[in-house]
Amino acid sequence: MPTTPTQTTAGPAPAGSARQRVRAELVREITDVARRHLAADGAAALSLRAVARDVGLVSSAVYRYFPSRDHLLTALIVDAYNALGEAVETAEAAVDRADVGERFATVGRAARAWARANPHQYGLIYGSPVPGYAAPDDTVGPATRVAFVLRDILRDSWSSGALRAPTTMPRSAAVWADLHRLAADFFTDVPEAVIARGVLAWTQLFGGINFELFGHLHTVITDYDAWYEELLAEMVAFVGLDA
């Protein structure tokens, strides 16, 4: 197939002609308005026509910048991943490097705080995939930012000796193989058992946010703040980061 005439995200030249600058500006404005609509009414109610009206365009004109509603939604997904990633990264960076347990807990706190402040954007990335899903490649990079912060904490704490190795070991060869590949590709010298518990703690961090935000703890927990602190303390101990 020929090169698509309508570029989705950025023009071919970095910041070239005047036309490309105004184009990039309009793409940004459309995404901004769409992000506001998403935050206000949720992904299901996001209407390309309504966004176009707010921008001051007719609906068909938006198709010069986003080939479909799903592409616009994908841009918002990338947007949300980056916003969450940045919130987590800046929060974690402010913590004493040596206090690895606090660094880990801070990641969870920042993720939960962002999720509560932006529930619709959070639901877009950690809820059910909206249409027929099939996440494009653009999303994988931003999607991994939080996981990479957690990885760095585990790596730092292992190399500094601040991490207690768990007593349990991977129970099957298949799991061990996956963890071994992760150890080789992303971790350095971190034991497979530590990585296993790290992945479990990672899913628990977001599983807890999901359960709270989606109402599954409704009749169970009343003080969500205190409960999430409990969850964090348990997970810090679970991965072996408690002092």
CB atoms within 10 A of CB 105: 22
Which of DNA, its own copies, none is residue 204 near (CB under 5 to 8 Å by kind)?
its own copies
DSSP state of 15: S
**Does 206 interact with its own copies (rule: CB under 8 A)?**
yes
As a whole number of angstroms, the distance between CA 162 and CA 104 comes to 13
Whichever of 136 and 141 has its CB closer to DNA, that residue is: 136
Query: What's CA 20's distance to the chain center, in Å?
Result: 30
**Does 123 interact with its own copies (rule: CB under 8 A)?**
yes
**Mask of contacts with DNA, 20-39, x by CB under 7 A?**
---x--x-------------
DSSP string, 149-189: HHHHHHHHHHHTT-SPPPS---SSHHHHHHHHHHHHHT-SS
Residues 6+ apart with CB under 8 A from 234: none
Number of residues that bind its own copies (CB under 8 A): 59
Cβ–Cβ < 8 Å for 148, 92: no
Cβ–Cβ < 8 Å for 127, 214: yes
As a whole number of angstroms, the distance between CA 145 and CA 86 comes to 8
**Does 172 interact with its own copies (rule: CB under 8 A)?**
yes
**Mask of contacts with DNA, 133-172, x by CB under 7 A?**
----------------------------------------
Q: Which of residues 46-85 bind DNA (CB under 7 A)?
A: 46-50, 56-61, 63-65, 67-70
Q: Which residues bind DNA (CB under 7 A)?
A: 5-6, 16-19, 23, 26, 46-50, 56-61, 63-65, 67-70
Q: Contact residues for its own copies (CB under 8 A)? A: 42-45, 123-124, 126-133, 135, 140, 143-144, 147, 168, 170-172, 174-175, 177-178, 182, 196-197, 199-200, 203-204, 206-208, 210-211, 214-223, 225-227, 229-231, 233-234, 237-238
